[in-house]
């Protein structure tokens, strides 16, 4: 749990890297900025809106918080989604959606890698 945090949506003025998928956040694109203090250390995290939406969806799933607390760690969304998918036992499409979110994260990361190699 954070000591305190502030979450805002910003528009990028320069290129940033998403803390979750490691894809580029291009100038002019909106992103989520979370700043705060965790265990006495100040930090900030920039998250592309695709990953922010995926995190919001995942943390809203009943399987996410087995003990009643909805905790997540920045930079671990893809692993968290991989752990969440097998926990979903109903056949309502949520497990498939979890895998789709992971694939979208990989696509954003791979687009960043492809751009770096082309340059």
Write out pLDDT tens, residues 53-79.
999 999 898 888 655 555 788 999 999
Q: What is the CATH number of the domain that holds 57?
A: 3.30.1740
Distance separating alpha carbons of residues 97 and 14, to the nearest angstrom: 31
pLDDT of residue 62: 87
Confidence of residue 3 (pLDDT cuts 50, 70, 90): confident
Alpha-carbon gap, residue 29 to 13, rounded angstroms: 8
Contact between 12 and 23 under an 8 Å Cβ cutoff? The reply is no
Each residue's pLDDT tens digit, 6-55? 999 999 999 999 999 999 999 999 999 999 988 888 989 999 999 999 99
Q: How many CB atoms lie within 10 A of CB 21?
A: 26
The pLDDT, as a whole number, for residue 119 is 55
What is the domain count for the chain?
1
> Please, what sign has the CA dihedral across residues 18, 21, 25, 31?
negative
Domain hosting 33: range is 4-112
Is 119 a domain residue?
Answer: no
- What per-residue confidence (pLDDT) applies to 35? 92
Of 53, 41, 57, 48, the C-alpha closest to 4 is 41
The pLDDT of residue 116 is above 60: no
- Domain assignment present for residue 97? The answer is yes
pTM: 0.84
User: Does 117 fall in a domain?
Assistant: no
118 located within any domain: no
Q: What is the pLDDT of residue 24?
A: 95
Burial 43-75 (b: 16+ CB within 10 A, else e): eebbbbebbbebbeebeeeebbeeeeeeeeebe
More confident call, 32 vs 119: 32
Are the C-beta atoms of residues 7 and 36 closer than 8 Å to each other?
no
């Amino acid at each position: 749990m954070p000591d305190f945090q502030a979450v805002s949506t910003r528009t990028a003025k320069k290129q940033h890297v998403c803390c979750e998928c490691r894809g580029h956040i291009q100038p002019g694109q909106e992103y989520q900025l979370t700043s705060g203090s965790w265990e006495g250390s100040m930090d900030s995290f920039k998250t592309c809106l695709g990953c922010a939406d995926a995190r919001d969806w995942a943390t809203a799933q009943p399987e996410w918080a087995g003990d009643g607390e909805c905790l997540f760690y920045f930079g671990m969304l893809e692993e968290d989604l991989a752990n969440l998918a097998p926990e979903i036992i109903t056949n309502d499409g949520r497990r498939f959606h979890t895998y789709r979110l992971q694939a979208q994260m990989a696509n954003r990361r791979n687009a960043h890698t492809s751009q770096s190699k082309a340059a």
